[in-house]
Amino acid sequence: MIDVHVHVGIPQAMLYHEFGSLWADFFRYADIPVSISGETNKQILDRGTLLGIDESCLPLKVYLGHVDSLLSECTHIFVPRVVQYHRNFLFCAKFAGLPDVVRNTFRLSPEQIISPNVEYKSSVNQLQSLYTTCQAIGLSAVPGYLAYRRALKSWRADVPGDSGSSTPKIAVIGHSYLLKDAFFCGNIMNFLASRGVKVITPNHVARKVLYDEAKVFEPDIYWQLSAKIAGAAHYFCRQPDIAGIIMVSSFGCGPDSLVNEYVEHHVFKKSDKPYIIINIDEHMGSAGLITRIEAFWDLVEWRQKY
């Protein structure tokens, strides 16, 4: 029997931008009240920066700010423990330890955290994760399974695609929790839109294609999200309609600091496409960012003419 007082909160940060609609729809289809923290703003960023330790990466600080915004109205926080989803790659350790970080930061009881284990992509693991989630909120197995199947069907159908336009495009590469966060990348996307540029991101390409592209970097790159970025770089550099590439990463991210150098050396410098690497931190102002993007766009236009 469902606890009538259950109200689940889902932080709109980190892996929410990969699987968020699946998680949110599951709770809605199961008739569980659910709240999403909403878009990142300065208040969330500042609060997360205060809560996180100095060594925390920017995405983790932002995540803590989103959790903090949910605590006043939610009884449970949904924080999955993601270790592995693709059999050939692993997630960064921050995803595996995220439930512990949240619980210790906010002094929450284990019952207040819903943290199913996602260790690998298999039917058995999915059912185990579903059972853990249902048990935490007092939801019985059958309605929980039906809600999950319905949510999974919607999530799989919600895949953005490339319109196939023949006009030149700019590929913007980076983690989805940066590219889909308007607070961090809104200025980039808005500037390109103001110039009539069509933007393509890794989310416009099938996941299987990106991971197949990343196989050429094995075993050097073994983090899953890093492999997705490297695969996207490898793929976009070979597309004739891609006029330039913008790579966005976050300050303090260990995998990014290595992968950026690796991709620049092994992919970008071997390509004839203009590129720029943007590192975002909590102190970056919009003026300096736009100045760099404007200079990059001037180079792209010049290359298009000559």
pLDDT in tens, 208-249: 899 999 999 988 888 888 999 999 999 999 999 999 999 999
Give the pLDDT of residue 85. Answer: 73
Give tens-digit pLDDT for 56-90: 899 999 999 999 999 999 999 999 998 877 777 78
Lowest mean pLDDT among 46-55, 61-70, 103-112, 155-164: 155-164
Domain for residue 233, yes or no? yes
H/E element holding 25?
A: helix 16-29
Nearest partner of 140 among 152, 130, 125, 126, judged by Cα: 130
The mean predicted confidence, pLDDT, of the chain is 89
The domain spanning residue 115 has which CATH number?
3.40.50
pLDDT band at 1 (very low <50, low <70, confident <90, very high): very low
Q: Does residue 112 sit in the same domain as residue 182?
A: no
Question: How many residues can be counted in the chain?
Answer: 306
Query: How large is the average pLDDT for residues 281-304?
Result: 85
Q: Does residue 80 sit in the same domain as residue 115?
A: yes
- Write the burial class of residue 166 (CB in 10 Å: 0-12 exposed, 13-18 middle, 19+ buried): exposed
Give tens-digit pLDDT for 89-142: 788 888 889 999 999 999 999 999 999 988 766 778 888 889 999 999 999 989
Give the pLDDT of residue 165. Answer: 59
Q: Does residue 274 sit in the same domain as residue 232?
A: yes
Query: How large is the average pLDDT for residues 46-53?
Result: 93
The domain spanning residue 254 has which CATH number?
3.40.50.11900
Q: Does residue 301 sit in the same domain as residue 187?
A: yes
Q: Pick from 157, 182, 198: which residue ends a domain?
A: 157
DSSP 119-164: -SSSHHHHHHHHHHHHHHHT--HHHHHHHHHHHHHHHHH-------
Domain that holds residue 128: 8-157
Q: Does residue 236 sit in the same domain as residue 183?
A: yes
Domain for residue 293, yes or no? yes
Q: Does residue 137 sit in the same domain as residue 248?
A: no
Q: How many domains does the chain have?
A: 2
Q: Does residue 99 sit in the same domain as residue 200?
A: no
Domain for residue 3, yes or no? no
End-to-end CA distance of the chain: 68
